[in-house]
Amino acid sequence: MGETESLLMPLEEYLKAGFHIGTKFRTKAMSDFIYKVRPDGLAVLNVQKINERILLASKLLAQYNIKDIVVVCRRENGWHAVKLFSKLTGIKAFTGRYPPGILTNPNLKSFIEAKLILVCDPQPDKNVINDAKKVGIPIIALCDTNSETNNVDLIVPCNNKGKKSLGLLFYILAREYFKVTGKIKDDSEFKANLEEFVPPD
């Protein structure tokens, strides 16, 4: 797993959330992020590489104005965390069905001139990715071991299916985004806590 001192959260938080536990299916595109395959066949993601990519994602988000970023999450398990991330950062988010044409059709009242898209899963969020590519908008995607990454510009490997894992991801991403943009100096100044990002079962 590499050195744990540089992890963005204590290792036990990752383990508790199943943050690094992938699926039994592995795509070639995700092979670089896989640490090992467990005896039960589930692939395990490299925690160090997850960390590196979350930091990269937060730095990329920080380069854009919040009005130019859109987060999209079709998968219901991510709705709570995405909505809280949106509320804290001011970044626009769509949970559930993605409204077609909002990135590509300037005649729509709901049209958004987005400059960066973050999707929670390339498969259910494929319509967003297709639209973003048509108009040349870069895409950050949370990708599990079974994800296809065509048209994705920045892969953030993680368990993108579990509520706890997605809650942890968006908690860390929000905190790191605030640090990179200079809104807070260190973790202690971050007002939200992890429990707020993880909905009760």
**Structural tokens at position 47:** 């925690």
Write out the DSSP string of 117-153: EEES-TTTTHHHHHHHHHTT--EEEEE-TT---TT-S
CB 51 within 8 A of CB 169: no
Question: According to the 3-state scheme, what is the secondary structure of 59-106?
Answer: HHHHCCCHHHEEEEECCHHHHHHHHHHHHHHCCEEEECCCCCCCCCCC
Q: Are strands 34-37 and 43-45 parallel, antiparallel or unpaired?
A: antiparallel
Give 2's pLDDT tier (boundaries 50, 70, 90).
very low
What's domain 11-197's architecture?
3-Layer(aba) Sandwich (3.40)
pLDDT in tens, 172-201: 999 999 999 999 999 999 999 999 999 777
User: Token match 């092979």: residue?
Assistant: 31
**pLDDT tens-digit series, residues 104-156:** 999 999 999 999 999 999 999 999 999 999 999 999 999 999 999 999 999 99
User: Are residues 163 and 13 in contact, defined by beta-carbon separation less than 8 angstroms?
Assistant: no
Domain spans, the chain: 11-197
Whole-number Cα distances in Å, 26 to 14, 21, 37, 155: 21, 12, 10, 15
Q: What is the mean pLDDT of residues 54-67?
A: 97
